[in-house]
Amino acid sequence: MSQFSLFSSGIELANLVVSSGLLKLSWDKISELYTELNQSEEIRWKVYQQPQSNCIIVAFVVSPNRTKQLLEEEELVPSSSLPFFHFLRTKIDSSFSISKAAVTLFDCVLDQLSSFKDRVGNSISMIITGHCLGGSVASLFTLCLLKSINQPGTKRPLCITFGAPLIGDKGLQQAISQNLMWNSDFLHVAASQDLVPRFFISPYNPNAMEIDSQIGIYKPFGIFLLCSKYGCSSLEDPEAVSEVLVAMDLEIARNKPPNEQWHMFDYGAVVKRLMSTISFKGISQLSEMIECPRQAGIVLQLQAIGLNRRQQSGDSNPLIAKLEKCEEAFVSKRKMGFDPSKKLNKRKEDMAKLEWYKKVSKSEDKGYYDSYKNRGSKKDLHVVTFKKSLTNYWKEMVAEVERMPQKEEASFRTRWLYGGTNYRRMVEPLDIADYYKENGKKDYKANGRSEHYIKLEKWLEEAGKPLSSQVITRKQNVSASLTEDSCFWAHVEEALIQCELLRNGQEEESTRKKLIEFEEYVMEQIKEYAVSPEIFLGGSSFMQWWKDYEQIVGTSYKSQLTDFMKSRLYQQYH
Amino acid sequence: MSEPFSVLDKRIRFTRLILFYLRKGREEARSGCIVGGLTLERALSLTWIKVKVESTIGKYPKRSFTSLHNNFQERVQNLKQETFYLLYDLKIKRAIIINQAKLLNREIFSTSTITVVETMASERLGEVISMKEEVIKNACSIAMKAHKLPEKQLYLVEKNRGSSDVIFSFPGSWTISDWFSRSPFGEKMIDPHPPQFASLRSIGNDQVATVNEAFLTRFQAILPQLQSEVVKAVADRKQIVFTGHSSAGPIAVLMTVWFLENWENFIKSDPSTSRMPPICVTFGSPLVGDFIINHALRRESWSHYFIHFVMRYDIVPRVLLAPLSSLEPELKTILDFLNPKCTIHIQEPTREASALYVTVMRNASSVASHAACHLMGNTNKLSDTLLSFIELSPYRPFGTYVFCTGDRELVVMKNPDAVLQILFYSSQLSSEVEGPEIALRSVKDHFNYQSELQNLETKGVAHFDNLEGLPLSSNVGAAGLGLVLNNLGLSTRARLCLCAAGELEKQKRRNQDKINKKKTDIEKGLLALEGYKTRCEAGRVSYYDALKLSKDTDDFNANVRRLELAGIFDEIMEMLKRYELPDEFEGHREWINIGTRYRRIVEPLDIANYYRHLKNEDTGPYMKRGRPKRYRYTQRWLEYALKISAGSSGESCFWARIEDLCLRTINMGLFEDVKEEILSLEKQVEKWVQNRELGDDIFFEDSTFVKWWKKLPQQHRSGSCISKFINN
């Protein structure tokens, strides 16, 4: 709905998180775990079962000394050397990097975690939490869980980190935030007095900058819960988070001596204060007249995180405008998001029109494949339009499914599989026709086939065979249905090419062999009633092939298919 | 050229209204009444509306408006000046005037979009909620009196001689099990196959309401005794009022719903009975059920019969927002303290009150923030993910709320989303020092309704129709509406939530407008398909079979029409599913009729297409797996409107059942297995055809149905109730 862009809900979301009590719950476990941490230990983790609920909390802490050491290294490890996280890579973002500190610590506990993960499965609600670098490890562990969250009935984990440093680059940010569900599985609590969350993005930290530029290498992902002594607010858009983290850094630097000693920041007090302010109005008052609700919301957010400093010149805070812009861009990006059901009925109309085209072509004794290939009349040109809108729709659909987390993907696939399969069977022959129309083009399946057809076909296979239908009913209706193998015509075209070769005297064993394979393939399709009877129409390419082939092999040659064709049994195939 | 005239019309009306309010305001100002300022503000805001109308002029041919335009400019100038002078007269702070002037300036002279800032009237409560103040006060005192009833008496009837009202009230209960039947929130789904509360559901979505189990049980215990008294009062042509204070409030609510559901029957059995709608007034009532109650009451246009009075800090209306486990011991103590019949003197429960207050506020905060995220169109999933770790109360407000600020104003609010936000935000503290005092007040205020409402007539009433343009800042322009919001303790954050609630309501209305505009397209499509059906019939073919064969261009065109209509209806159903249309939508007679006509003419084509493409082979029978929402929903609309049992209006699925039977009876040896089904179907068909709900084209010689039917055993056919329709 269009009210989406009118409001900024950061404060409300933050308030929900605080009043849910989950922050206190998580932090209590962390502080309990700190007391158990041995002097010699680098990292410690523990599972806590919640009484009277099907929820467990997995907490991580890292020894303060080790933390100090590790935070001085800002190196990133490229994804090529992180086989464990390869599942995050997609076609679009093929590489990313993760901070060495986080990876080093994660490796220490990887074996234990893996066996733990296998033991609990995905059927219980899990909060993964950690403080400082412990939070980084918690994030990495949550990422691993997301990998396997594909079976139905699994619960989404929630990762809550306290004062964790940024752990990845733009690649990681994109890999996670292109997926709406993944991004909101991470909640990073960051206090304005804590240096660590913005350590790697601080303009005062020369190592965190890319060479020759002012842009930091590290990028945030997930939802940030930013808190100050005035209150708290949440931010989701990664651009806005970066802006605010940098602004916080500048704000603090203005007020504090730059070389202050680093210490582990205690979030217990922060959480306690936030909880106690629920019943208070707080400072959420506007001092000026603002009419735009979104702008007012942003001003409140900045107040809550202590950044609503008035400029000396009396101008309004430039951060407000920046955040407004971020929010606008973020919302419109969301809005542009693909909604498959929106256009579905329109596409069904296109399919109906194509079906009609198929029917008309049939009455012309050609079949729609050849009708389209020859483009003899006006109606063939119309088809190009439907075909284009259908192809765009399904290409986008397949791309969207590819970007989805696996769990949604699975259910999504089943829902759209029927339409997708129908589309593929109807439209791919037209693509094949276009492909072979260009002279000399060969081997569609290897060189010409669009990725989305391959995916659609693969999904159908993975979904398992449809209910085994009786061959009788199949036969009854075969005239109305489409050829099951959408690449059937590519096979025909290849066979035509082979015949051409033979006719030109390029007699070769492999050519003959291929033709025999084709024969067998066709016969099998016929037996299964998997091809449409249209292929036997007088003007079809298949019949063209048959004429060629019949000449080449001569009358003495005998096979199942030649018998079938010669005896004109195909006339009863409908 | 009809539009310019409607604009003209609006202008004249507006000008009259503005003048009326200016006059009224002036009078009130002279008599020293503070509300005069509010009236004037209304005049001011109307001026802005006029300006808005003005700004739309650009759309129309200039010629016809030049003169009007000049005339109008002049009037606006005059009004503006007049308003300023009057505001001065009232000695309202200079700063406010400057602010208003600034706003006004911008509104009038900038070309940017103009928002209508507020429409707020100051009237008497009785006018706003159309109920006599006297009745409210009476109800309140009787509601309190009911608490003192002896144990066995379950209700109190108050009939004043000479008065036209009969007031029914109920005693509250003070044991915790009468509030929470169990953990966490004591809620229970209403029986989906009801003799009672059939209306408390979302029709298309087929979702029944959830109510508090303990209150429902008490209601059911009281109803049998009360029933005859109510019927008698109705026969005496009395105005029925149900009232209750505290936990008796929900009983009054459920009684009223029961009454409304049976109202038609009362009238039917005795046409001379009162047609006056009942009134339900509650005081400090806890919440009763989930959001579906509001949805259903609005759909039935019953919502405005329910008036709830809530003191700003009263804890009771909020208490069900917290789970039982979080507050059990404290609530027990507090209930003992509140119990008017408790004879032991109990000390003021300061500690328990504080604990209860903090717990309720924390939970109310979760509920309110979660709702606010939705209102503001938050797109991220965190708020949903959190729900697998915490449980939120399902209870939501409905009806009209009257909030008593404890000052001179009453705030009337009808938007249930906004009410929920106010329930939380109006109890927020402004400083820590207030804590213990407010906590104790949150308990004591529960018994302060009678004194609060004593001088009801003199109270100012702020009535919010337009939530989108609230003043967001709480320290600027603290007059009029701003002042009222301050008195209710609403911070900027709270106001933003209210704006969002208003915006959502508006958006729902916009969605409905969008859909209403599609009516012509639907009409066109339906006419085309009806024409198709007739043409097929002329050729002695049922249109079902014609489409299934799809031989001609006409069939193809019909199929495209079908898909175009599907697009429109699917969009409607999707909105209904997400509750993005006004709650009233499914109660509109016109849409129910359109839906039914659509279903009867188009669904057979969907079925034809389904079986033509053999979708039954990989998806399963149409009825089980293939039937789209657009038909399931519209069927439920009709069945609900006619009060007939679910599934009884399945005539549009006739062909799907035939196709299914065809497949199952390929081998006629199985006849005995399906005999019962065939018999019942034949009976239904006879009825449908006689009622013209199903066309008789199904009986054409070569129809799928007749061909199949003729294969049935002779013995069966000769005795069948539909054999008379079929030409043998």
Chain mean pLDDT for chain B: 81
Contact A359 B372 (CB under 8 A): no
Contact B566 A345 (CB under 8 A): yes
Partners of B507 on chain A (C-beta within 8 Å) are: 1-3
* B178 vs B85, residue with greater confidence: B178
Range in A4-18, B219-233, B407-421, B519-533 the model is least confident about: A4-18
Q: Is the pLDDT of residue A336 over 90?
A: no
| pLDDT at residue number B572 | 93
* B274 vs A137, residue with greater confidence: A137
pLDDT single digits (tens) B63-112: 444 444 555 555 555 555 554 444 433 333 333 433 444 444 444 333 22
Range in A85-99, B488-502, B528-542, B559-573 the model is least confident about: A85-99
Work out the average pLDDT over A391-408: 73
SS3 content of chain B, % helix, strand, coil (to 5): 60, 10, 30
Quote the CA–CA distance of B164 and B130 in Å, as a whole number. 16
Using H for helix, E for strand and C for coil, what is the string for A181-240?
Answer: HHHCCEEEEEECCCCHHHCCCCCCCHHHECCCCCCECCECCCEEEEEECCEEEEECCHHH
Q: Is the pLDDT of residue A38 over 60?
A: yes
Q: What secondary structure does DSSP assign to B518-577, as a single string?
A: THHHHHHHHHHHHHHHHHHHHTT--HHHHHHH--SHHHHHHHHHHHHHHHHHHHHHHHHH
| pLDDT at residue number B45 | 57
Partners of A352 on chain B (C-beta within 8 Å) are: 556, 559-560, 563
pTM of the model: 0.83
| pLDDT at residue number B17 | 61
Nearest CA in chain B to A301: B493
Nearest CA in chain B to A156: B385
Q: Which amino acid is at A251?
A: E
Nearest CA in chain A to B615: A418
Q: Which amino acid is at B50?
A: K
Range in A204-213, B58-67, B111-120, B197-206 the model is least confident about: B111-120
Q: Could you say which of B358, B379, B469 has the minimum Cβ distance to residue A279?
A: B358
Nearest CA-CA partner of B268 in B643, B638, B586, B639: B643
| pLDDT at residue number B201 | 92
Q: Is the pLDDT of residue B3 over 80?
A: no
* B511 in reach of chain A (CB within 8 A): yes
Which residues of B participate in catalysis according to the annotation? 246, 314, 446
Work out the average pLDDT over A447-463: 83
Confidence of residue B290 (pLDDT cuts 50, 70, 90): very high
| pLDDT at residue number B524 | 94
* B680 in reach of chain A (CB within 8 A): no
| pLDDT at residue number A534 | 83
| pLDDT at residue number A139 | 93
Partners of A279 on chain B (C-beta within 8 Å) are: 357-358, 361-362, 365, 427-429, 435
Range in A143-152, B86-95, B718-727 the model is least confident about: B86-95
Quote the CA–CA distance of A180 and A404 in Å, as a whole number. 8
| pLDDT at residue number A562 | 85
* Whole-number percent of chain B with pLDDT over 70: 79
pLDDT single digits (tens) B423-473: 999 998 888 788 888 889 899 899 999 988 888 877 777 777 667 667 776
Confidence of residue B307 (pLDDT cuts 50, 70, 90): very high
Quote the CA–CA distance of A573 and B267 in Å, as a whole number. 68
Contact A284 B492 (CB under 8 A): yes
Q: Is the pLDDT of residue A1 over 50?
A: no
Partners of B492 on chain A (C-beta within 8 Å) are: 284-286, 296, 300
Nearest CA in chain A to B493: A284
Contact B492 A183 (CB under 8 A): no
Q: Is the pLDDT of residue B1 over 90?
A: no
Residue A257: asked if its preceding bond is cis (omega within 30°), the reply is no
Contact A466 B381 (CB under 8 A): no
Partners of B101 on chain A (C-beta within 8 Å) are: none
Range in A435-449, A522-536, B8-22, B488-502 the model is least confident about: B8-22
Confidence of residue B235 (pLDDT cuts 50, 70, 90): confident
* A213 vs B597, residue with greater confidence: B597
* Whole-number percent of chain A with pLDDT over 90: 13
| pLDDT at residue number A361 | 84
Quote the CA–CA distance of A233 and A187 in Å, as a whole number. 12
| pLDDT at residue number A320 | 82
A&B contacts, CB < 8 Å: 214
Q: Is the pLDDT of residue A259 over 70?
A: no
Partners of A5 on chain B (C-beta within 8 Å) are: 377
Q: Are A443 and A190 in contact (CB under 8 A)?
A: no
pLDDT single digits (tens) B619-634: 788 888 788 999 999 9
Smallest CA–CA separation between B107 and chain A, in Å?
Answer: 12
Range in A12-16, B108-112, B580-584, B663-667 the model is least confident about: B108-112
Contact A297 B389 (CB under 8 A): no
Q: Is the pLDDT of residue A262 over 70?
A: no
Work out the average pLDDT over B712-723: 86
pLDDT single digits (tens) B665-710: 876 666 777 888 888 999 999 999 998 888 888 888 888 899 888 8
| pLDDT at residue number A261 | 61
Residue that the structure tokens 């009729």 belong to: B593
Partners of A12 on chain B (C-beta within 8 Å) are: 369, 372-373, 376, 378, 497
Partners of B503 on chain A (C-beta within 8 Å) are: 3, 6-7, 293
Nearest CA in chain B to A471: B617
Work out the average pLDDT over A264-277: 89
Q: Are A278 and B429 in contact (CB under 8 A)?
A: no
Per DSSP, helices labelled H in A53-123 are: 64-71, 100-120
CATH of domain A5-149+156-283: 3.40.50
Range in B182-186, B209-213, B475-479, B551-555 the model is least confident about: B475-479
Work out the average pLDDT over B45-69: 47
Contact B580 A1 (CB under 8 A): yes
* B83 vs A574, residue with greater confidence: A574
Locate B232 and state its tokens.
């008698």
| pLDDT at residue number B7 | 47
| pLDDT at residue number B583 | 94
Contact A1 B489 (CB under 8 A): no
Using H for helix, E for strand and C for coil, what is the string for A243-294?
Answer: HHHHHHHHHHHHHCCCCCCCCCCCHHHHHHHHHHCCCECCCCCCCCCCCCHH
Quote the CA–CA distance of A347 and A342 in Å, as a whole number. 10
Chain mean pLDDT for chain A: 80
Confidence of residue A442 (pLDDT cuts 50, 70, 90): confident
Q: Is the pLDDT of residue A182 over 90?
A: no
Domains identified in chain B and CATH numbers: 125-322+395-419+445-464 (3.40.50.1820)
Is ipTM beyond 0.85?
Answer: no
Quote the CA–CA distance of A64 and A144 in Å, as a whole number. 25
Q: Is the pLDDT of residue B33 over 70?
A: no
Q: Is the pLDDT of residue A472 over 50?
A: no
Q: Is the pLDDT of residue A402 over 80?
A: no
Work out the average pLDDT over B342-354: 82
Work out the average pLDDT over A133-153: 80
Smallest CA–CA separation between B386 and chain A, in Å?
Answer: 8
* Whole-number percent of chain B with pLDDT over 90: 41
Smallest CA–CA separation between B378 and chain A, in Å?
Answer: 6
pLDDT single digits (tens) A311-326: 544 556 778 888 888 8
Q: Is the pLDDT of residue A274 over 70?
A: yes
Smallest CA–CA separation between B568 and chain A, in Å?
Answer: 9
Provide the Cα torsion B409, B414, B420, B421; round to 10°. -60
Smallest CA–CA separation between B345 and chain A, in Å?
Answer: 31
Quote the CA–CA distance of B333 and B324 in Å, as a whole number. 14
Range in A203-207, A217-221, B232-236 the model is least confident about: A203-207
Contact A293 B499 (CB under 8 A): yes
| pLDDT at residue number B287 | 97
Q: Is the pLDDT of residue B6 over 70?
A: no
Q: Where are the domains of chain A?
A: 5-149+156-283, 339-464, 467-574
| Window 65-84 of B, Cβ < 8 Å to A | none
| pLDDT at residue number A285 | 64
* B379 in reach of chain A (CB within 8 A): yes
Quote the CA–CA distance of A346 and A350 in Å, as a whole number. 7
Confidence of residue B58 (pLDDT cuts 50, 70, 90): very low
